[in-house]
């Protein structure tokens, strides 16, 4: 066993195949940026699945350890945009046409992260009709509880009064704010010392969502810097699509409670 064989570096370092003709120097940056993002997303999924399983096993400390690791990965993903931002509009234009219909919109791992965090959209499965592995993974995630679902079920088993509307919701749909949850969330924020572990988990989930939004925002700013408001590759709306994504909330009650906490 050597370093190279353990990491399968021959495969990894041989996976960059620029398609521009004549070859454009900056395409290598574009490829590696997106490949490394996919590797980090693979680890994010690995950790969130483990955190969900830990909540299922009523082991919240183990779940929080995994979420903490995801938060560090998110910081790396966000900062990574600064490397791609060195790609000027002129440099990108030299090879953009060679990308054809390929688009980050088609990243099934990005969709998988969104699905397991609650932003499920079964209609998107049509995008992966020609990728059986991707379609199978996303289809499975549609029918599975999210990280948030697992958390509330864990709290119910500890004796907290989690509403039936939360525990029995249709997990195949996109998660939406459940007003019946707000009294419980508010009571935790009003008495953090009494519910310290729950309070801490709330804030860890808030960090997780906020980091995801920062990553999305940095993506938006990089796109604006590189192609402005032009349409994205693959026919997407580019910056418009990314702006709409900023409105998505995975854990809406944990943000809605901030309006009520401390209010007269």
Domains of the chain: 23-95+105-258 (1.20.58.480)
Residues 6+ apart with CB under 8 A from 97: none
**Residues at the annotated binding site for heme?**
219
Tokens of 144: 């599975």
b/e map 126-135, b = 16+ CB within 10 Å: ebbeeeeebb
Q: What's the angle, vertex CA 256, arms to CA 214 and CA 217, rounded to 5?
A: 15
Tokens of 151: 């958390």
List the end-to-end C-alpha distance of the chain, in Å, as a whole number. 66
**Residues at the annotated binding site?**
30-34, 92, 96, 219, 233
pTM, two decimal places: 0.94
Rounded Cα distance, 151 and 63, in Å:
9
Tell the residue number behind the tokens 């029995």, with chain if given: 168
Taking only the tens of pLDDT, the chain with its 264 residues reads: 999 999 999 999 999 999 999 999 999 999 999 999 999 999 999 999 999 999 999 999 999 999 999 999 999 999 999 999 999 999 999 999 999 888 888 999 999 999 999 999 999 999 999 999 999 999 999 999 999 999 999 999 999 999 999 999 999 999 999 999 999 999 999 999 999 999 999 999 999 999 999 999 999 999 999 989 776 665 566 677 788 888 899 999 999 999 877 655
**Residues at the annotated binding site for substrate?**
30-34, 92, 96, 233
Burial class (CB in 10 A: 0-12, 13-18, 19+), 138: buried
Rounded Cα distance, 172 and 168, in Å:
11
Tokens of 75: 């910081």
Tokens of 147: 């990280």
Q: Which of 110, 137, 142 is nearest to 123 (CA)?
A: 142
Rounded Cα distance, 127 and 113, in Å:
16
Note the pLDDT of residue 234. 56
Tallying the residues shown for the chain, one arrives at 264
Tokens of 226: 């590189």
Note the pLDDT of residue 121. 94
Rounded Cα distance, 64 and 55, in Å:
9
Rounded Cα distance, 142 and 171, in Å:
7
Note the pLDDT of residue 232. 63
Note the pLDDT of residue 235. 56
Q: What is the dihedral of CA 99, 88, 75, 141, to 10 degrees?
A: -20
């Amino acid at each position: 066993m050597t370093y190279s064989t353990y990491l399968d570096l021959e495969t990894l370092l041989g996976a960059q195949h620029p398609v521009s003709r004549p070859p454009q120097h900056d395409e290598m940056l574009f490829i590696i940026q997106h490949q490394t993002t996919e590797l980090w997303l693979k680890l994010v999924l690995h950790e969130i699945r483990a955190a969900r399983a830990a909540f299922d096993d009523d082991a919240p400390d183990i779940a929080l350890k995994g979420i903490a690791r995801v938060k560090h990965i998110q910081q790396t993903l966000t900062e990574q945009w600064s490397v791609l931002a060195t790609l000027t509009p002129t440099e990108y234009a030299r090879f953009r046409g060679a990308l054809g219909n390929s688009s980050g919109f088609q990243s099934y791992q990005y969709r998988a992260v969104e699905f397991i965090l609650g932003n499920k959209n079964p209609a998107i499965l049509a995008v992966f009709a020609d990728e059986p592995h991707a379609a199978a993974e996303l289809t499975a995630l549609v029918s599975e509880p999210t990280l948030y679902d697992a958390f509330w079920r864990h709290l119910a088993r500890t004796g907290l009064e989690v509403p039936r509307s939360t525990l029995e919701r249709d997990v195949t749909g996109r998660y939406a704010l459940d007003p019946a949850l707000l009294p419980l969330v508010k009571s935790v924020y009003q008495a953090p010392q009494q519910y310290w572990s729950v309070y801490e988990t709330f804030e860890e989930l808030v960090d997780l969502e906020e980091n995801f939004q920062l990553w999305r925002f940095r993506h938006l700013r990089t796109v604006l810097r590189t192609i402005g408001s032009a349409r994205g590759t693959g026919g997407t709306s580019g910056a418009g699509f990314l702006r709409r994504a900023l409105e998505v909330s995975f854990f809406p009650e944990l943000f809605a409670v901030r309006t009520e906490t401390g209010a007269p």
